[in-house]
Copies of this chain bind each other. A is one copy, B any other.
Amino acid sequence: MSKEITSREADYSQWYNDLVLKSGLADYTPVRGCMVIKPYGFALWENMRDTLDRMFKETGHVNAYFPLLIPKSFLSKEAAHVEGFAKECAVVTHYRLMNDPNGGGVIVDPEAKLEEELIIRPTSETIIWHTYKDWIQSHRDLPLLINQWANVMRWEMRTRLFLRTSEFLWQEGHTAHATRQEAVEETERMLDIYAQFAEEFMAVPVIRGIKTASERFAGAEETYCIEAMMQDGKALQAGTSHFLGQNFAKAFDVKFANKENQMEYVWATSWGVSTRLVGALVMAHSDDEGLILPPRIAPFQVVIVPIYKGEEQKKLIDEKVNAIMKELKSYGIRVKYDDKDNARPGWKFAEYELKGVPVRMAIGARDLEQNVVELARRDTREKSTVSLDGISDHIRQLLEDVQQAMFDKAQKFRDEHITEVNSKEEFIRLLDEKGGFLSAHWDGSTETEDAIKEATKATIRCIPLNNKQEEGKCVWTGKPSSQRVLFARAY
């Protein structure tokens, strides 16, 4: 079968690529590091995007759209930011092509050179804070709670479908506040929204924490993150929320008149999640048969496959299915009836397992006589024969059960993969043998963090929020430490 995918055990990395390509989520392109998000993958992203968008709006945010291109000089205005983002980015230098006078097709018109080069946004803090200078004069203009859905580009050297692509889709929130406290609260609020989304919709449990200085966003005072655990024991950063202090306000001279009519610099946050989440979703849940999608964001929650011989049977099944579909849709359930006659039921079963549809209903002529259907849930692959009476309520409950079971399974796995380690030897051994998060004491220095990364490829994923304070000795240097932090190899 051409749709066969490599098993996780044989090659986890290849399994992931096979799955993304063969389930129809995405495809490669001739443009280095850029992918096509195929219709099935995009439908999944749309459900994620729309859910997040609703959560942002419910917390008072509005959407806007800022330019794709950023003047090169803007990047230099915030000292740390330029170091982080000016490195690998796409640079527009010309604005016209022309016919090659020597007949070599089209060439760049050398006359059409820009005075100042433009950068395709790797993130939009600079152009947005340049704009905010015009929008913010008084405390009455604050808070400004703006989000943007956009494409961004970072010229990545090593790319992977969804997880790390040169161009990706994301949202970036950029808020402005009158006080430090308000901005910190906003940073934490958005982290909570990301965590809630990951857990309740993606069924992916996450750890909330803050990054160490070396993993901090370029230009931030503090970077908060949610960290997830994949099935191969590697961590994945699923979202970040940055407290930017007054750094960008100072860089772009954005001040407001406070209630006492004194001018103050504005406080800022930014926060984002991207199509990377699709990769996280795939890696967290799927198996060797294909995707396993959580019902709340699956493009289709239920697929119905008819099993019949001849037109007469088909007609009876159609009639029943139409009634079921109508009822399911009235419950808001996304259902597809696949009655294409160019594939056998067995082929369709495999196809929808590959695509990760949470619940499959098979309905045959004999089933109809007995007033039953066969339901198969994708996560456990359990089948059951169920009465058609009250079938919609049954399915609704089943979808909730699948959602919860997926979360529980992922959480159990994640919890089993947080291991306290107390020596360098143990750290190195368990990182290879077991993987996952290693909870270890660290002396707080960037030097030690770098040394561990250099030696083991593990990084500090985060210092968990509300972390237990506990005296101990750094697992690497033996120096004193006041708390454990989470190390892991990561995507």
A: residues with CB less than 8 A from B are: 27, 29-31, 34-39, 41-43, 46, 62-73, 75-76, 82, 86-97, 105-106, 108, 117-120, 127, 130-131, 134, 140, 146, 150-151, 153, 155, 167, 169, 342
Contacts and interface: CB of A to CB of B under 8 A. Distances in A.
B36 A64 contact: yes
Contacts of A72: 97, 106, 108
Nearest to A152: B68
A27 B342 contact: no
A78 to B, nearest CB: 12
Nearest to A130: B30
Nearest to A148: B42
Contact of A65 (B36, B108, B342): B36
Given A30-B130, A69-B31, A119-B97, A91 B108 contact: yes
Contacts of A91: 92-97, 108
Contacts of A127: 29-31
9 contacts: A29-B66, A31-B69, A38-B64, A67-B167, A68-B167, A69-B90, A88-B96, A97-B119, A108-B117
A155 B89 CA distance: 21
Contacts of A29: 66-67, 127, 131
A178 to B, nearest CB: 15
B67 A42 contact: no
Contacts of A39: 62-64, 146
B69 A34 contact: yes
A31 B108 contact: no
Contacts of A30: 71, 127, 130
A36 B67 contact: yes
B95 A76 contact: no
Given A34-B69, A92-B92, 9 more contacts: A29-B131, A30-B71, A31-B127, A43-B62, A67-B167, A90-B92, A91-B95, A93-B94, A108-B117
A63 B43 contact: yes
Contacts of A93: 91-94, 108
Contact of A92 (B75, B105, B120): B120
A60 to B, nearest CB: 11
B68 A169 contact: no
B117 A68 contact: no
Given A71-B31, A120-B68, A155 B95 contact: yes
A63 B42 contact: yes
A106 B119 CA distance: 12
A37 B151 CA distance: 15
Contact of A105 (B43, B76, B118, B119): B76
From A43, A69, A75, A89, residue with most partner B Cβ within 10 Å: A69
A37 B148 CA distance: 10
Nearest to A342: B140
A414 B93 CA distance: 44
Contacts of A64: 36-39, 41-42
A38 B93 CA distance: 28
A34 to B, nearest CB: 4
